[in-house]
């Protein structure tokens, strides 16, 4: 199941306050597939949403439309009785739905405003799996009803962006916090928690990846340095030998030559004179300089002797 259908399942399973039922029902009808003076319809792959739509028509008109099963297993509800549609429209208008504005809740309770948005999401909303991207949207063909929904969302403190796709009005959110808040507000708090969990997991994974990359880069850098030191020591061995070095440099060179994988810190620990890491680096630099001088003096003869 998709994240979107998990959210819808939770919304369907979360009880509504009795006061919220008229507005929830109005939203199901207003944001279903079709809502014109001649025809109402809705199409869904979730039978429970079709049932909720039928109950909505019943609640607001007292009449029961029938549910049809379409070819691909979807449930379709259709009403083409103009008298019934007129009655429903009059009932929806009486609920002050069109009076809600950004700064005016038209006397509706906050719970009823949330339930209206819940109804709209069930029939025209989708939300993307938060493991992929953060995106929640409502799609509605009529501009006037899209504006109503935007006002309801604004009453909940949710300020959506708008766009058009193939002539359909889209209200959408891209911020994970706003999506989590809206899911909670509509009644899908468990899925909102899932989303927060997914985000924490993603943050941890990114931090771990950054650290691993950083450590790999460090290892590559130290290996690179150790390889250069190893080559320098080989040059010294061919041009006078390790005996030609001072005892402190000789011991440092021997440890590096025998242990190319050792870090400077490990070499410092292995040396008897309690030297620091920067002391080891300093000795290595001296060894490299001596090797460079000798290589320059012999003009590559050391290699030729082999």
Say what angle helices 189-238 and 247-258 make with each other, to 10 degrees.
Answer: 120
Task: Give dist(CA 107, CA 110) in Å, integer.
Answer: 9
- Closest to Zn ion by CB, 151 or 256: 151
Q: Which window, 18-26, 54-62, 68-76, 160-168, contacts Zn ion (CB under 5 A)?
A: 18-26
- Nearest distance from C-beta of residue 15 to Zn ion, angstroms: 12
**Cβ atoms < 10 Å from Cβ of 275:** 17
- Closest to Zn ion by CB, 20 or 77: 20
Segment (H or E) for 57: helix 47-61
Question: In a 3-state reduction of DSSP, which class is residue 78?
Answer: strand
225 binds Zn ion (CB under 5 A): no
20 binds Zn ion (CB under 5 A): yes
- Closest to Zn ion by CB, 94 or 109: 109
Nearest to 278 by CA among 287, 293, 267: 267
**Cβ atoms < 10 Å from Cβ of 166:** 7
- Closest to Zn ion by CB, 27 or 40: 27
109 binds Zn ion (CB under 5 A): yes
Site for Zn ion in 30-49 (CB under 5 A): none
- Closest to Zn ion by CB, 107 or 274: 107
Is residue 160 within 8 Å of residue 147, measured between CB atoms?
no
Q: Which window, 15-23, 42-50, 118-126, 160-168, contacts Zn ion (CB under 5 A)?
A: 15-23
Please count the residues of this chain forming the interface with Zn ion, following the rule CB under 5 A: 6
- Nearest distance from C-beta of residue 93 to Zn ion, angstroms: 19
- Closest to Zn ion by CB, 19 or 223: 19
Is residue 174 within 8 Å of residue 161, measured between CB atoms?
yes
Task: Give the one residue of 2, 14, 17, 36 binding Zn ion; rule: CB under 5 A.
Answer: 17
Sign of the CA dihedral with 47 first, then 60, 62, and 32 last = negative
Task: Give dist(CA 160, CA 216) in Å, integer.
Answer: 42
Task: Give dist(CA 269, CA 252) in Å, integer.
Answer: 11
Task: Give the one residue of 111, 142, 147, 262 binding Zn ion; rule: CB under 5 A.
Answer: 111
Q: Which window, 101-109, 126-134, 186-194, 218-226, contacts Zn ion (CB under 5 A)?
A: 101-109
Q: Which window, 105-113, 214-222, 243-251, 291-299, contacts Zn ion (CB under 5 A)?
A: 105-113
Question: In a 3-state reduction of DSSP, which class is residue 36?
Answer: coil
112 binds Zn ion (CB under 5 A): yes
- Closest to Zn ion by CB, 100 or 112: 112
Q: Which window, 11-19, 71-79, 116-124, 164-172, contacts Zn ion (CB under 5 A)?
A: 11-19
Task: Give dist(CA 258, CA 179) in Å, integer.
Answer: 59
- Closest to Zn ion by CB, 18 or 83: 18
19 binds Zn ion (CB under 5 A): yes
Task: Give dist(CA 78, CA 34) in Å, integer.
Answer: 9
Nearest to 139 by CA among 175, 171, 115: 171
Per CB under 5 A, residues contacting Zn ion are: 17, 19-20, 109, 111-112
């Amino acid at each position: 199941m998709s994240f979107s259908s998990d959210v819808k399942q939770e919304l369907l399973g979360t009880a509504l306050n009795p006061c919220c039922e008229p507005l929830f029902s109005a939203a199901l009808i207003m944001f279903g597939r079709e809502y014109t003076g001649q025809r109402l319809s809705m199409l869904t792959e979730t039978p429970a949403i079709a049932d909720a739509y039928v109950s909505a028509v019943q609640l607001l008109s007292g009449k029961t439309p029938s549910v049809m099963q379409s070819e691909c297993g979807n449930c379709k509800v259709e009403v083409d009785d103009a008298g019934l549609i007129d009655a429903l429209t009059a009932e929806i208008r009486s609920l002050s739905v069109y009076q809600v504005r950004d700064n005016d809740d038209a006397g509706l309770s906050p719970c009823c405003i949330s339930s209206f948005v819940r109804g709209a999401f069930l029939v025209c909303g989708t939300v993307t799996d938060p493991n992929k991207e953060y995106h929640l949207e409502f799609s509605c063909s009529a501009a006037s009803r899209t504006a109503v929904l935007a006002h309801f969302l604004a009453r909940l403190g949710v300020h959506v962006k708008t766009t058009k796709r193939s002539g359909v009005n889209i209200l959408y959110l891209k911020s994970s916090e706003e999506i989590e808040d809206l899911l909670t507000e509509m009644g899908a708090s468990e899925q909102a928690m899932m989303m927060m969990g997914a985000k924490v997991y993603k943050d941890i994974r990114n931090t771990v990846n950054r650290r691993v990359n950083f450590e790999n880069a460090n290892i590559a850098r130290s290996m690179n340095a150790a390889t250069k030191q190893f080559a320098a020591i080989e040059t010294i061995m061919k041009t006078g030998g390790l005996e030609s070095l001072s005892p402190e440099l000789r011991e440092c060179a021997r440890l590096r030559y025998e242990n190319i994988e050792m870090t400077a810190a490990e070499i410092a620990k292995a040396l008897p004179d309690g030297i620091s890491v920067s002391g080891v680096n300093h000795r290595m630099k001296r060894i490299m300089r001596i090797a460079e001088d000798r290589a320059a003096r012999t003009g590559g003869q050391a290699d030729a002797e082999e």
